[in-house]
Structure 1
Amino acid sequence: MTERIIESLDNPRAKLWAALLESRGLRKHRRFLLAGRKTVREALAQHPDRFESLLLPPGAGAGAEDLPAPPGLERIRLGRALFDRLDVSGTGLPILVGVVPEMAAIDLARPPEGLELVCALGDPSNLGALLRSAAAFAVSRVILLADAAHPFHPKCLRAASNAQFSLELRRGPAWTGLAQAAGPLLALDGQGEDLAGFAWPRDLRLVLGEEGLGLPPGLAVQRLAIPTSGAVESLNATVAASLALYGHYLAMRTKD
């Protein structure tokens, strides 16, 4: 298969790809970079239509020969300096260039359908871990508030292990926009109702605040607490949310 070669860091396409390492570039160009031995292979096998280019490391081979890449996927061999600039995970393996899907704005005045996760996590690695749990526990959609990290940031993609491709991602408002949100609206709080005995509704919105900052004061939500031994002050936000998601998932399986 024909391969193009791009070596210069000043090449326009090279500059575009480098911009995709930051949220600003992701928003501007609506493209993303996906790296990883397992994730690249799975993404090509399951979602080949989401990708437009395969960036190859210098030299022959380098793990590209047996990838399930469609014939029409553009292949570009990069120079060493350029490839190392883009290979932030240090895999040394081919990198996919994908198209960021349209994430429509959510109308929070409409009632929730299933468990909708409302999230403001600003750390892309934490957001990625949360998206992985959301996919595992059948979250109906993830609503990303204005302060949330970009879900296709390289660190988020690495932590999520391709969960982005199986989730419905929607754009949400700033925190103040939750005042008009239809409920049930729930959140995790150490002073809330014991989650262990909570009767989960099928349809709800679970709100997760930023790591360390928590929820804005005065937010009108029903608060749930996860009982612990007390050996630590609190749980990591992603861990706490995963426990709540599992609780809802288990309750819905029991009902069904």
Structure 2
Amino acid sequence: MSSAPRAIDSLQNARAKKWLALSDARGIRKHGEFILSGRKTVPEALARYGSRFTAALVRTDNDLNRLALPPSIERYVLAKPLFEALDTNGTGFPLLVGAVPEMAAADFSKAPQGFELVLALGDPSNLGAALRSAAAFGVTRMVLMEGAAHPFHPKALRGGANAQFGLTFLKGGDWTALEGAKGPLAALDGAGSDIEAYAWPENLRLVLGEEGRGLPPELGATMLAIRTTGAVESLNATVAASLALSARYRRRSGR
């Protein structure tokens, strides 16, 4: 049986302060929680990943009827100023509070078991878009290098469209950690060989360079290039990642 909803009126309430801190990476790391918003993403996440969430935050009692909430999820009715402060995307739709999964350290001393996408996108919106592409093309293991945005930042969640909940995240450390990494390693570079001709191995780490800085010069990887007209010097990192993952998916699925 579900518990009765609890009302929170003050922004100074202890729970309210914690939720307000979840608008940035520091607060997410400190509390190990995140807030999901979205008229489409919230119901979809509840239906597929309901056990990942601990609380529902709504503006009125009637808003609780808009969600199929399992009994384990606590219910909170918030005063308008508090709800609007937490509803960073301005949807007006109920919000979900969830637990951030544990992220183990990547072990580069061992060859990859399967495919891993290694990246350090610092913009949470770009990271979210990359995660969405990864999920679309069957990638499940993401290695976040030092400087990467938090994958459960509100902007990353919006860009990811629930992709986060089907992915495994590993902490990769700084770029020097990749020096001497065992197993196949590939990276995107305009001077590399044609990505369309690459025979993608089953076990591989694909490295996406940092925005604006590119790849570490000491990285010992097979360089792969995405064919373009040459009208621009380089592609947006997220776009490049999407094209590379699409090329891998088509090659390995024979499509």
Gaps of 5+ in 2: none
Q: State how far apart, in whole Å, the 1-side matches of 2:160 and 2:51 are.
A: 20
* Backbone CA RMSD of aligned residues: 1.4
Q: What is the one-letter code of the residue matched to 1:71?
A: P
- For the residue of structure 1 that corresponds to 2:189, the secondary structure is strand
Q: State how far apart, in whole Å, the 2-side matches of 1:198 and 1:107 are.
A: 25
Match of 2:180 in 1: 180
Q: Is the 8 A contact 2:179 2:218 kept in 1?
A: no
TM-score by length of 2: 0.95
Match of 2:74 in 1: 74
Percent identity over the alignment?
58
Match of 1:49 in 2: 51
Q: Does 1:119 align with 2:119?
A: yes
Q: Does 1:139 align with 2:177?
A: no
Q: State how far apart, in whole Å, the 2-side matches of 1:227 and 1:161 are.
A: 28
Gaps of 5+ in 1: none
Match of 2:102 in 1: 102
Q: What is the one-letter code of the residue matched to 1:4?
A: R
Q: What is the one-letter code of the residue matched to 1:220?
A: G
Match of 1:61 in 2: 62
TM-score by length of 1: 0.95
The runs of 4+ residues in structure 1 deviating greater than 2 Å are: 59-62
Q: Does 1:155 align with 2:155?
A: yes
Q: State how far apart, in whole Å, the 1-side matches of 2:51 and 2:106 are.
A: 25
Match of 1:26 in 2: 28
Match of 2:220 in 1: 220
Match of 2:193 in 1: 193
Q: How many residues align?
A: 253
Q: What is the one-letter code of the residue matched to 2:57?
A: L
Q: Is the 8 A contact 2:116 2:141 kept in 1?
A: yes
Q: State how far apart, in whole Å, the 2-side matches of 1:177 and 1:138 are.
A: 26
Query: How far apart are 1:154 and its partner, in Å?
Result: 0.4
Match of 1:238 in 2: 238
Q: State how far apart, in whole Å, the 1-side matches of 2:162 and 2:208 are.
A: 21
Q: What is the one-letter code of the residue matched to 1:51?
A: F
The 5-angstrom pairing of residues 8-23 of structure 1 reads: 8-23=10-25
Q: State how far apart, in whole Å, the 1-side matches of 2:217 and 2:86 are.
A: 41
Q: What is the one-letter code of the residue matched to 1:16?
A: K
Query: How far apart are 1:60 and its partner, in Å?
Result: 4.2
Match of 1:36 in 2: 38
Q: Is the 8 A contact 1:114 1:139 kept in 2?
A: no
Q: State how far apart, in whole Å, the 2-side matches of 1:60 and 1:107 are.
A: 48
Match of 1:247 in 2: 247
Q: State how far apart, in whole Å, the 1-side matches of 2:167 and 2:66 are.
A: 28
Q: State how far apart, in whole Å, the 1-side matches of 2:86 and 2:8 are.
A: 13
Query: How far apart are 1:39 and its partner, in Å?
Result: 0.7
Q: Is the 8 A contact 1:113 1:140 kept in 2?
A: no
Q: State how far apart, in whole Å, the 1-side matches of 2:43 and 2:98 are.
A: 14
Q: State how far apart, in whole Å, the 2-side matches of 1:77 and 1:12 are.
A: 15
Q: State how far apart, in whole Å, the 1-side matches of 2:244 and 2:114 are.
A: 14
Q: State how far apart, in whole Å, the 2-side matches of 1:75 and 1:91 are.
A: 18
Q: State how far apart, in whole Å, the 2-side matches of 1:39 and 1:158 are.
A: 8
Query: How far apart are 1:28 and its partner, in Å?
Result: 0.6
The 5-angstrom pairing of residues 193-212 of structure 1 reads: 193-212=193-212
